Amino acid sequence: MAKTYNICLLPGDGIGPEIIAEGVKVLDAVGVKYDTAFAYTEALLGGCAIDATGTALPDETLHVAEASDAVLLAAVGGPKWDTTDPAKPRPEQGLLGIRKALGLYTNLRPVQIFAALADASTLKPEIVDGVDMMIVRELTGGLYFGRRERFYDEEGCGTHGAAGQRAYDTLEYREYEVERIARQAFEAARKRRNKVTSVDKANVLETSRMWREIVHRIGAEEYPDVELEDLLVDNTAMQLISRPVDFDVVVTENMFGDILSDEAAQITGSLGMLASASLGDGTALYEPSHGSAPDIAGKGIANPLAQILSVEMMLRYSFNLGEAADDIRRAVTAVLDEGWRTGDIKQADTPADKVVGTVQMGDLVVAHL
């Protein structure tokens, strides 16, 4: 009898419903090929949840996620819900909240170059040739989860010392939080090219000084076979552009990882190609690295490949279906090698009849499966 995996689907906002449908299509094809069944339960997260319930992360959504074998998320957010009012909900609160509630403290973002898309990068082909890195981002600590407040200060924070608004956000880490993310990075490096680059701002921040000390201790005591280097975050931002091929595993705290992973993603030519996995103590969550792209929502032109590659990561990390995951990677590679493109990854010499929409791209991947 076929094994059944229960998946919580979070389509979210913008192009989310369109691309997650293609992820499900690929999962169903995998199920047929490998005699495996996938059962889906859809729930609300982000802006759509705010509209329906008044909160970005309804209790029901969390219950569904906790009861599932994995969570597949598309994208959340959009200008409709943009606000600077701290009293109003924002879609991003749903994403941060579900990561925290599920104990997902590790975000894995593979950054690899598909040979067929090397020319799509804004960098020279000889710079990006062979790029294959894994960014390991701490996901539930740091500035995004620290104490924060905005208030009116009578003592003078406005223009020329007059009374005015004042705000603060707190960057805080605990020893165990750094230890566990460091181990994740070293373990990942052992399965790759045995090198970890730890990124911090130790010349300024006390949290970074502690981060560096702990990463070095874990490396020396538990992973002496893995090469370790330190880079300041500003220097890393430069080195990712000048020598991206030299990076193997990059580990860093939450905010730095948020920024650097998007920068690294652009090396590949499009955020529409990059997936991510959030792992930890609870049900793992898989999602594309890109946003909800509300400007193209409903037009049927969004690139579903990052969502499909998120399915690949789900099969690999949550379900131990490595052969099926490899099949998806091969199928995506074959489609690209044949010259098929969505609008965001087409090149100047891409024939018009090779530019396809969201559904057609999903169909092509399924056909190769």
Binding-site residues for Mg(2+), in ranges, read: 234, 258, 262
CA 240/CA 272 separation, integer angstroms: 19
| Single-letter amino acid code for the residue at 48 | C
| Single-letter amino acid code for the residue at 90 | R
Q: What are phi and psi of 70, to 5 degrees?
A: -165, 160
Burial class (CB in 10 A: 0-12, 13-18, 19+), 54: exposed
Binding site for substrate, residues? 99, 109, 137, 234
69 is catalytic: no
337 is catalytic: no
Of 69, 246, 262, 363, the catalytic one is 262
- For strands 70-75 and 285-288, give the pairing: parallel
Helix, strand, coil proportions of the chain in percent (round to 5)?
A: 50, 20, 30
Binding site, residues? 99, 109, 137, 234, 258, 262, 291-303
Of 82, 225, 234, 326, the catalytic one is 234
35 is catalytic: no
Of 5, 144, 173, 223, the catalytic one is 144
| Single-letter amino acid code for the residue at 212 | R
Angle among Cα 154, 159, 162 to the nearest 5 degrees reads 30
CA 314/CA 317 separation, integer angstroms: 5
234 is catalytic: yes
Q: Which has the closest alpha carbon to 72: 132, 26, 141, 136?
A: 26
Binding site for NAD(+), residues? 291-303
Give me the helices (H) in the chain, please. Answer: 16-34, 47-53, 59-66, 91-101, 125-128, 175-190, 206-222, 233-242, 254-267, 305-317, 322-337, 358-368
201 is catalytic: yes
Of 201, 223, 327, 344, the catalytic one is 201
216 within 8 A of 223, measured Cβ to Cβ: no
Of 169, 246, 258, 363, the catalytic one is 258
Catalytic residues: 144, 201, 234, 258, 262
